[in-house]
């Protein structure tokens, strides 16, 4: 992740965020699921077990939706250290596999300082290398003014 | 004239783009040298007769028309020229509606219903025809280019068009702001309203285009 | 139970608010969440020794919102449910030691068709309030139910 600082004045409509490539491993998913103790204690699930996933009609274990939105939000909070995420809104269009290259992209689609909050609207997507979009959505972030 | 014939605003349950945001983005696209004259809002399973975008359209030099995308027993259909004669006869919220009845009712009452993303697994017109669905002799046009297609789905649509001799439209199927205009339909004439759109689609000529190819 | 659109579920739950639980946000929880999702900024993971002031990553409320804490709407359709979508509006930073109370209500149930065939969507609205009665997050969630062999 970059340790850079961005200011509201420096961002224009159409500016791209990312792309960021990530691979979510089995171990990372297990660590995430452990945090939701109730779920983890109920045994293997389609998130942690390929066998359970296949029994549910899937082809492999999948990344939890809650983890996917966390990863999507990181695209934004990782853009610069001073990004403040105000809202994120996503649609899960396809299940996300473990151990597969995921490409996160964003683009600035709106800029609004009317409310005094220096808000930027951004489209965000997660896709596979073949271009299939797994998660789409938008977000509102805030950046400070250059003093 | 270039129109994106398949878009969804926040009125659709799975879209995250407002009409105002689409308009703003069209200005960004034009500033970058891209061409797009307007779009048709084809919201899922609904049609609002009362909402009026003509003021916004005029202020922004963007043509904004209204249509619908409906779920039927033969896949999804895009409907243009929706009027009250149609909405009183067809329940837009019925996800298993009779597609033949939809197509026939539209033709009877000066609208047009065309199969959306016909190559798409499960909800594509081509899939249903392959599974033995008969009828639909009045269909002359399907959606050829859809911006949300997955690998193979566009190719299947093109195969259907070639086999049946259909005409093909283009639409982004945008659910986020930046997707608008990625696929469009190019008309040789100006289209100012829904009635003219229906006539243009019934009579041709038009073709499906990608913004990146223009 | 009555239905429209052929969807059978307990419609008396529509709009009724339920408390999903009270949760303490611990430092370990924040660090675990941040680590599992690969966060690298000090504001989430602390300094190189894991010390210092930290805030929770914006989507941490997902730890507290699970299917087990929502009322069963007794939906008579489908064999599998998946997360279909979510929005999180971050109102205030969430810090170690915060005690969050979650309240949820059923907002909508509707059907549509897609690549997976017929699906039914269930939409919940959830709010999280801290120990100072301040709203820290507003969460809308959609779950899709479908048949297994779609």
Any idea which fold A8-24+63-142 has?
Thiol Ester Dehydrase; Chain A (3.10.129)
- Average pLDDT of the residues in A55-75: 94
What's the pLDDT tens digit per position in C11-62?
999 999 998 889 899 999 999 999 888 888 889 999 888 889 999 999 999 8
DSSP letter at B109 equals T
Write out chain C residues lying below 8 Å of B121, CB-based: 115
Q: Is C113's CB within 8 Å of B45's CB? A: no
Q: Quick one: which H or E segment has residue B21?
A: helix B19-31
- pLDDT-derived band of residue A2, with 50, 70 and 90 as boundaries? low
Query: What span, in angstroms and rounded, lies between the C-alpha atoms of B14 and B117?
Result: 17
What's the pLDDT tens digit per position in A68-108?
999 999 999 999 989 999 999 999 999 999 999 999 999 99
CA-based nearest residue in chain B for residue A13: B28
For residues B157 and B141, the answer to whether their CB atoms sit within 8 Å is no
Q: Is C112's CB within 8 Å of B95's CB? A: yes
Determine the pLDDT at residue C1. 31
User: For residue A101, what are its two tokens?
Assistant: 């290259």
Which residue ranges make up each domain of chain C? 11-25+64-146
CA-based nearest residue in chain C for residue A1: C40
pTM > 0.90? yes
pLDDT at C67 over 50: yes
Out of C32, C86, C89, the one facing A35 most closely (by C-beta) is C32
Determine the pLDDT at residue A114. 82
Write out chain B residues lying below 8 Å of C113, CB-based: 71, 76, 95-96, 122-123
Q: Is B95's CB within 8 Å of C5's CB? A: yes
Sign, CA dihedral A128-C113-B41-B207, equals positive
Which residues of B lie inside 8 Å of A (Cβ-Cβ)? 14, 16-17, 21, 24-25, 28, 32, 148, 150-151, 175-179
Which residue ranges make up each domain of chain A? 8-24+63-142
Angle at A103 between CA A97 and CA A106, to 5 degrees: 130
Determine the pLDDT at residue A52. 94
Dihedral of CA atoms B88, B89, B93, B96 in degrees, nearest 10, equals 180
Determine the pLDDT at residue C36. 86
- Counting as low any pLDDT under 70, the low residues of chain B are none
Helix (H, G, I), strand (E, B) or coil at A39: helix
For residues A67 and A32, the answer to whether their CB atoms sit within 8 Å is yes
User: Which residues lie below 8 Å from residue B129, measured CB to CB, with a gap of 6+?
Assistant: B160
Homologous superfamily (CATH) of C11-25+64-146 is: Hotdog Thioesterase (3.10.129.10)
Predicted complex ipTM? 0.92
Mean per-residue pLDDT over chain A, rounded? 92
pLDDT at C3 over 50: no
Distance from CA of B68 to the nearest CA of C (A): 14
Distance from CA of C43 to the nearest CA of A (A): 9
- Average pLDDT of the residues in A37-61: 86
What's the pLDDT tens digit per position in A13-43?
999 999 999 999 999 999 999 887 666 667 8
Select from 3.20.20.140, 2.60.260.20, 2.60.40.10, 3.50.50.60 the CATH code of B2-213: 3.20.20.140
Burial class (CB in 10 A: 0-12, 13-18, 19+), A111: middle
């Amino acid at each position: 992740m970059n340790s850079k600082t961005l200011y509201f004045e420096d961002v224009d409509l159409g500016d791209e965020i990312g792309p960021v490539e990530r691979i979510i491993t089995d171990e990372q998913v297990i660590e995430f699921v452990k945090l939701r103790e109730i779920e983890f204690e109920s045994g293997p699930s389609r998130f942690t077990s390929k066998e359970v996933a296949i029994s549910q009609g899937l082809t492999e274990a999948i990344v939890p939706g809650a983890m996917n939105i966390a990863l999507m939000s990181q695209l934004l909070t990782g853009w610069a250290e001073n990004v403040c995420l105000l809202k994120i809104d996503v649609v899960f269009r396809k299940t996300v596999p473990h151990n597969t290259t995921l490409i996160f992209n964003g683009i600035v689609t709106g800029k609004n300082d009317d409310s005094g909050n220096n808000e930027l609207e951004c489209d965000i997507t997660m896709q596979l290398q073949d271009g299939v979009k797994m998660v789409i959505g938008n977000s509102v972030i805030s950046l400070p003014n250059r003093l | 004239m270039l129109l994106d014939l398949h878009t969804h605003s926040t009125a659709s349950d799975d879209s995250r783009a407002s009409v105002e945001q689409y308009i703003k983005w069209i200005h960004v696209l034009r500033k970058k040298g891209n061409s797009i004259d307007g779009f048709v809002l084809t919201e899922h399973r609904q049609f609002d007769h009362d909402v009026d975008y003509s003021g916004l359209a005029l202020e922004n030099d963007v043509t904004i028309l209204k249509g619908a995308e409906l779920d039927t027993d033969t896949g999804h259909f895009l409907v243009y020229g929706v009027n009250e004669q149609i909405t009183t006869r067809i329940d837009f919220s019925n996800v298993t509606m009779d597609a033949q009845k939809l197509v026939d009712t539209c033709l009877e009452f000066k609208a047009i219903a065309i199969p959306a993303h016909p190559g798409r697994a499960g909800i594509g017109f081509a899939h249903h025809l392959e599974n033995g669905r008969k009828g639909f002799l009045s269909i002359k046009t399907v959606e050829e280019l859809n911006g949300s297609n997955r690998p193979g789905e566009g190719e299947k649509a093109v195969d259907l068009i070639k086999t049946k001799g259909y005409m093909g439209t283009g639409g982004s199927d945008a659910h986020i702001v930046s997707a608008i205009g990625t696929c469009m339909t190019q008309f040789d004439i100006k289209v100012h309203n829904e009635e003219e759109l229906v006539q243009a689609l019934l009579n041709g000529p038009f073709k499906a285009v990608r913004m990146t190819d223009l | 139970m009555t239905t429209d659109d052929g969807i059978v579920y307990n419609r008396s739950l529509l709009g009724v608010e339920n408390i999903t639980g009270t949760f303490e946000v611990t430092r370990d929880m924040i660090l675990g969440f941040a680590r599992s999702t690969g966060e690298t900024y000090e504001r989430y993971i602390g300094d190189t020794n894991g010390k210092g002031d930290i805030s929770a990553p914006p989507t941490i409320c997902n730890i507290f919102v699970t299917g087990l804490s929502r009322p069963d709407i007794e939906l008579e359709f489908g064999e599998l449910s998946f997360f279909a979508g979510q929005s999180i509006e971050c109102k205030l930073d969430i810090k170690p030691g915060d005690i969050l109370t979650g309240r949820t209500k059923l907002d909508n149930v509707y059907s549509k068709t897609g690549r997976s065939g017929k699906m039914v969507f269930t939409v919940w609205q959830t709010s999280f309030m801290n120990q100072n009665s301040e709203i820290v997050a507003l969460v809308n969630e959609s779950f899709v139910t479908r048949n297994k062999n779609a």
